[in-house]
Amino acid sequence: MVKTLNIIGGKWKPVILHMLASQTLRFGEMRRLIPPISQKMLTQQLRELESDGIINRKVYAEVPPKVEYSLSTLGKTLIPALEALYAWGDNYPDTGGDLKL
């Protein structure tokens, strides 16, 4: 479990993976879909996910440069676990705690 949380844990990785579960996205598209994330943090999270083999990064030889991100085969195996976590969160009783994204 520790290994899994080290790979997908944190504030932004589950959000990024959830978005990539349904589509391939470019960096700018992700920035627009997650307004509160900084460019530096998104870059860091994407690099870590790529390094762990969870996402693929495809660079096109174009000007301006075009880079697309998608889930790898390994990353796709995480989708059922992430969906279960999202379902649990949707059903989490509101106890008055300060749960924020």
The per-residue pLDDT for range 61-88, each reduced to its tens digit, is: 998 889 999 999 999 999 999 999 889 8
Length of the chain in residues, anyone? 101
pLDDT at position 96, please?
A: 64
CA–CA distance from 82 to each of 28, 38, 85, 97 (Å)?
23, 23, 5, 22
pLDDT of residue 37: 95
Under CATH, which number does the domain 2-80 receive? 1.10.10.10
Which tens digits make up the pLDDT trace of 18-62? 999 999 999 999 999 998 999 999 999 999 999 999 999 999 999
DSSP-assigned letters across all residues of 16-63: HHHHHTT--EEHHHHHHHSTTS-HHHHHHHHHHHHHTTSEEEEEE--S
